[in-house]
């Protein structure tokens, strides 16, 4: 089952900054990294859920926001677009 990172919006992979955001996420949890996934709720799209991923005690979701690869978003109102200028904020 697929997990959407809860509490944030990242650029789409096809948008400028999207591949970089995906690569940054992969760098935070490389293959073999033990993680804990906390399910928050079913996603509005079938077959996935919204969740928080922890690598150790650190929230990967929060790290994506702090590193400038995602914008905080609770899913209501206009979807914020993370700033992208070719480097993380």
- Strand ranges in 16-73 using DSSP code E only, listed in sequence order: 35-42, 48-55, 58-59, 70-72
| Domain edges within the chain | 2-69
Residue 85: pLDDT over 70: no
Q: How many CB atoms lie within 10 A of CB 84?
A: 17
Residue 88: pLDDT over 70: no
pLDDT in tens, 9-48: 999 999 999 999 999 999 999 999 999 999 999 998 888 9
């Amino acid at each position: 089952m697929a997990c959407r990172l809860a509490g944030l919006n990242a650029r789409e992979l096809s948008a400028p900054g999207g591949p970089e955001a995906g690569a940054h996420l992969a760098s935070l949890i490389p293959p073999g990294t033990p993680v804990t996934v906390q399910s928050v709720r079913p996603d509005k799209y079938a077959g996935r859920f919204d969740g928080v991923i922890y690598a150790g005690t650190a929230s990967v979701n929060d790290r994506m926001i702090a590193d400038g690869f995602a914008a905080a978003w609770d899913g209501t109102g206009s979807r914020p677009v993370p700033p992208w200028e070719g480097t993380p904020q």
